[in-house]
Structure 1
Amino acid sequence: MTGRSPSVQQGFTETRNANSGLKWETTTQINIGLDMALLENNLILGADYFYKKTKDLLVERPLPPAVGGTNQTLWDNVGEMENSGFEFLLAYQDEINTDFSFHVDLNFAAIQNKLTSLPEDIDFLSIPGSVLHTTNFDQEVSRSDVGQPIASFYGHDAIGIFQTQEEVSAHAEQPGAQPGDLRFRDINEDGVINDEDRTFIGSPHPDFTYGLTVGANFKAFDLSLFFFGSQGNEVYDLTRYYGDFFNLSAYNKQERTMDAWTPDNTDTSVPRLSLDDNNRNARPSSYYVQDASFLKLKNLQLGYTLPASVSEQLDLRVYFQVQNLFTFTPYEGMDPEVGLQNYSSDNRNLDIGVDRGIYPPSRTFQLGINLGL
């Protein structure tokens, strides 16, 4: 704007900060394996150990506001990560007679992940605060730190519910706490509960995963089932953030709030209902972390091949198939198989195992025909 006559001058602003030293990640991997075939190739055994080291991890780092521009982040190469583990395979097939045959395939994998190095100017990796609102309801729920698995859950350790005022008074100073509120562990034992008492409270990575495929043929009928399971993985259930706490009153509440703590209902894990939440019960904590181990029947298919006398010169098979038939899990959310969310920037690939109300996989029923000429 110049003088008394306002005018707009066209200009430019930087929308993306460049890094001339940026390069691809480098991965080195070692595999040691053993494969065997026994019993006239009816029994197959496989075992594999692997170690993979990744250097120059690609991460979008936040920059100080003084940098200016519309994008205050910078893609950079930071840190190193290790993955190691075992994978096993057991497969058996047999033909009992001309009418009946079967096969069983079992696989098992145990993988360990660990961040092993970060530059001196980076204490940990996390999702930038500018995108926490869209991803984690304003909560920093995970961190990637040296010695820890990538995207480990981070927050306060909730160790129960205060039952009496005497328990509140005897505990470390926890501002705003009343009977019925969550009690948090004094990690550094300084007598005060604050942000210094946050710690690693869980991991989205399983101890092991496994799969089982079973198939059988009896005369013209065939049957196949595929099971998949995961053990030891945890989920950070962020649906509880808006679903359990009444100070966030613009949202529907979970059914379990009907069992919230009251002086007459003390045998519960749900804190008291409050419109002000002076204790900050809704803060990031282990209250949200749940065991999400599961076993799923991913696919079941039953088929029937018509005799040649019926289908003449055609190979005709009809089948009935069900996907996602059932899930066994202690997880209380919609689906325990959360995994990595579909994000593309802002380090959201570090946001693993956080449930914001994901849509569960559909159970589908199919009737089909296979036709061969």
Structure 2
Amino acid sequence: MKVISIVNQKGGCGKTTLAVNFAATLSRMGNEVLLIDLDPQAHATFALGYRENNLEKKTSYDIFRSHIEGEPLPFGEIVIGDRPKLAFIPSNMLLSAAEINLGTMHGAASILSRTLFEPFFEKYEYVIIDSPPSFGFLTLNSMYAADMIVVPIDLGYFSFNGINGVYRVKSLLDKETGRSPSIFFVLNIFDPRSNFASNLEKDAKQKLGEYLLNSKIRSSVKLREASKEGKTIFEYDYKCTAALDYYNFTSEILNVEKIDLGLIVKEFLYRAPEAGAVYVLGDFNGWKKTEAAKLAKDDDGSWRAHLSLKKGKYRYKYLVDETWVNDPINPEIEENAFGSVDSVVTI
């Protein structure tokens, strides 16, 4: 399980929108994902279409309440699972009480981290945490639990101030815990037409260097409309440029995650609206038809899979309803031992 916290002490930088749609993208790539709303303002909860008056589940507050009252945590009662591969723990204003009651308690910053070690959460490949726009008790819990911290910046002066705050808090946590989660920054709500944004982008690259991701999330009316409707960007308009931005951003995060292992995330895409099942088989998986080799179908009839591969050259084919097919969008082919040809990809 990989825990990724979305953090910035400045509000209005698109932090919640990033957390919600990042989690949605990971789930569309075939991962089991848990999104946790750790903000008492409950913006992620609202962005996914939930309101306090229609929430039957408990909330992230109960993670901390169970420690206050010494009661077992009812895991099944706090997780909403009504979206494919995207589970969710909502929030409400009661979460503010946790900071008041637990903020000074020894070990309070590790409550969420210890909770996520419970066997109930082992099924999730990724946990995404939407942190509040401050550096209090709740954000400390978010950062303490994290394997990676992602900081959205909107290229404003105060957003850059938020960067300095994240570095300071992370440094303190590193010293106290001995852990050192990786940290990356992404340009969010980015307007490529603006000279002001272009100049600030140069400043960001100079200030952040290799920790600034290449991908950007462009400013989009569709993202605001989707949040208002209580939908992810893929539920609202999966063909829009914002959806593409999130695919690019998520793919880059996955590549960064795998870099220490010498792995690169490769997307395999095959369009077959009428197909019942599509697999990608090749040298990288021993040509074995397994669940890991199965592509997920998008709403537009495209099938996608994202595989983590070592650098090298691989032969592969698609198996479409038990029929072998070469990759129609990859012109690279080589003859095989059976007198036909295979598609070839070099990573």
- The answer to which structure, 1 or 2, has the higher relative contact order (CA under 8 A, 6+ apart) is 2
Higher strand share: 1
Structure 1 or 2, whichever has the larger Rg, is: 1
TM-score w.r.t. length of structure 2: 0.23
Higher helix share: 2
